[in-house]
Structure 1
Amino acid sequence: MLRQQDCFLGDVHPDVLEDVRQRLRGVHGNALRARLADEPLYRRNGKYSHLRTPTKKELLIKAYCLKTFVWGWRVLAELDLSLLRKGASELRDYQLAAASEALKGGTLLVMPTALGKTFVAALVAAHLLATSPKKILFLTPTKPLAMQQAKRMRELLVVPQESVLVVTGEISPAKRAAQYASARIVCGTPQSVENDVLTRRLSLSEFSLIIFDEAHRAVGSYSYSFLGRQARESGALVLALTASPSSKPEKIREICGNLGIERIEIKTESDEDVRGYAQKIKLDWEFVELPPELLGLRDILREQLSECLQSLKKDGYLESADLRRINKRILLSLRPLLAKDIPKSYGSLSTLAKAMNFMHAIDLLESQGIAALYEFLTGLKQREEKTKAVLAILADHRYAKLVARTQTLKEGGFEHPKMRRMREIVGSAVHAGKSVIVFAHFRDSVSEIERQLNAEGLRVAQLVGRSGDGGMSQKEQHALLEKFRAKGFDVLVATSVAEEGLDIPSVDLVVFYEPVPSEIRLIQRRGRTGRAHAGSVIILVTKGTKDEAFLWISRAREKKMRETLQGLRGELSRKKQKGLEEFS
Structure 2
Amino acid sequence: MTEYVEHRWINPKTMEKRAYQEAIAKRALDGNMLVVLPTGMGKTPLAALVAAYRLEQDMHKKIMFMAPTKPLVNQHKKSFERFLKIGPDEIKVITGKIKPAERGELYKKADIVISTPQTIRNDLKKGVLNLKEYSLLIVDEAHRAVKNYAYTYVAKKYMQQAEKPLILALTASPGGHRYRIEQVKKALFIENVEVRTKDDEDVTPYIKTIKTEWIEVELTKPMQSIKKYLESIKDEKLKMLMKWSFIRSSRITKSQLIELQKKLAHSKSGSSFAAMSLIAEIVKVDHAIMLLETQCLYSVKKYMDKIVNEGVKGDTKAATRLIENRNFQSAARLLKELIEEGEEHPKMVKLREVVEKEFERNENARLIIFTQFRDTVDKIIAELKKVKGCKPVALIGQAGSRGLDQKEQVRLINEYDLGFYNCLVCTSIGEEGLHLGSATTAVFYEPVPSAIRTVQRRGRVGREQMGRIYIFITKNTRDEAYYWSAHHKEKKMKKILYSMKEKTLKDFS
Q: Secondary structure at the match of 1:467?
A: coil
| Offset of residue 490 of structure 1 | 1.7
Equivalent residue, structure 2, for 1:371 = 298
Deviations 1:309-345 (A, max 9, x none): 0011111111112xxx222122112112222333231
Matched, 1:358 2:285: yes
Equivalent residue, structure 2, for 1:328 = 254
Q: TM-score, normalised by structure 2?
A: 0.95
**Aligned partners of 1:575, 1:335: CA distance in 2, in Å?**
46
Equivalent residue, structure 1, for 2:44 = 118
Matched, 1:311 2:240: yes
Q: Secondary structure at the match of 1:198?
A: helix
Matched, 1:252 2:176: no
On the 8 A contact 1:464/1:471 being kept in 2, the answer is: yes
| Offset of residue 80 of structure 1 | 8.8
Equivalent residue, structure 2, for 1:456 = 387
On the 8 A contact 1:284/1:539 being kept in 2, the answer is: yes
Aligned CA-pair RMSD: 1.8
Q: Secondary structure at the match of 2:173?
A: coil
Matched, 1:293 2:222: yes
Matched, 1:218 2:158: no
Matched, 1:103 2:32: no
Equivalent residue, structure 1, for 2:453 = 521
Deviations 1:366-424 (A, max 9, x none): 11122211111112122356200000001122332222211110010111111111111
Matched, 1:243 2:172: yes
On the 8 A contact 1:128/1:208 being kept in 2, the answer is: yes
Structural mapping, 1:110-189, within 5 Å? 110-132=36-58, 133-189=60-116
Equivalent residue, structure 2, for 1:447 = 378
On the 8 A contact 1:80/1:130 being kept in 2, the answer is: no
Equivalent residue, structure 2, for 1:81 = 7
Matched, 1:261 2:190: yes
Give the counterpart letter for 2:219 in structure 1. Answer: L
On the 8 A contact 1:350/1:389 being kept in 2, the answer is: yes
Q: Secondary structure at the match of 1:520?
A: helix
Q: Which moved more, 1:397-406 or 1:531-540?
A: 397-406
**Aligned partners of 1:336, 1:573: CA distance in 2, in Å?**
44
- Which of 416, 419, 422 is matched with 1:490 structurally? 422
Give the counterpart letter for 1:361 in structure 2. Answer: A
Q: TM-score, normalised by structure 1?
A: 0.83
Q: Secondary structure at the match of 1:211?
A: strand
Equivalent residue, structure 2, for 1:231 = 158
Q: Secondary structure at the match of 1:570?
A: helix
Structural mapping, 1:535-554, within 5 Å? 535-554=467-486
Q: Secondary structure at the match of 2:9?
A: coil
- Which of 303, 315, 328 is matched with 1:399 structurally? 328
Distance 1:251 1:93, change over 3 A: same
Stretches of structure 2 lacking an aligned partner (at least 5 in a row): none
| Offset of residue 250 of structure 1 | 1.1
**Aligned partners of 1:575, 1:258: CA distance in 2, in Å?**
20
Distance 1:134 1:80, change over 3 A: farther
Moved over 3 A (4+): 501-506, 571-577
Deviations 1:432-490 (A, max 9, x none): 22110111111111100110111224211111111113111222212211111111122
On the 8 A contact 2:368/2:443 being kept in 1, the answer is: yes
Q: Which has the higher contact order (CA 8 A, sep 6+)?
A: 2
Percent identity (aligned): 37
Deviations 1:243-296 (A, max 9, x none): 000111111111111111111111111111111111112222221111111111
Give the counterpart letter for 1:496 in structure 2. Answer: S
Q: Secondary structure at the match of 1:89?
A: coil
Give the counterpart letter for 1:222 in structure 2. Answer: Y
Q: Which moved more, 1:296-305 or 1:451-460?
A: 451-460
On the 8 A contact 1:142/1:501 being kept in 2, the answer is: no
Q: Which moved more, 1:379-388 or 1:272-281?
A: 379-388
User: How many corresponding residue pairs?
Assistant: 499
**Aligned partners of 1:337, 1:439: CA distance in 2, in Å?**
35
**Aligned partners of 1:375, 1:195: CA distance in 2, in Å?**
39
**Aligned partners of 1:295, 1:353: CA distance in 2, in Å?**
23
Give the counterpart letter for 1:98 in structure 2. Answer: I
- Which of 351, 359, 366 is matched with 1:422 structurally? 351
Give the counterpart letter for 1:315 in structure 2. Answer: W
Q: Secondary structure at the match of 1:455?
A: coil
**Aligned partners of 1:258, 1:405: CA distance in 2, in Å?**
51
Give the counterpart letter for 1:317 in structure 2. Answer: F
- Which of 232, 252, 276 is matched with 1:349 structurally? 276
Q: Which moved more, 1:393-402 or 1:248-257?
A: 393-402
**Aligned partners of 2:309, 2:435: CA distance in 1, in Å?**
37
Deviations 1:476-526 (A, max 9, x none): 212211111111122111111111154544411100110000000001111
**Aligned partners of 2:404, 2:433: CA distance in 1, in Å?**
14
**Aligned partners of 1:136, 1:380: CA distance in 2, in Å?**
51
On the 8 A contact 1:430/1:490 being kept in 2, the answer is: no
**Aligned partners of 1:94, 1:576: CA distance in 2, in Å?**
18
On the 8 A contact 2:233/2:328 being kept in 1, the answer is: no
**Aligned partners of 2:89, 2:234: CA distance in 1, in Å?**
60
On the 8 A contact 1:430/1:436 being kept in 2, the answer is: no
On the 8 A contact 1:110/1:245 being kept in 2, the answer is: yes
Equivalent residue, structure 1, for 2:403 = 471
| Offset of residue 574 of structure 1 | 4.5
Distance 1:385 1:483, change over 3 A: farther
Q: Which moved more, 1:179-188 or 1:395-404?
A: 395-404
Stretches of structure 1 lacking an aligned partner (at least 5 in a row): 1-29, 32-78, 578-584
**Aligned partners of 2:198, 2:502: CA distance in 1, in Å?**
21
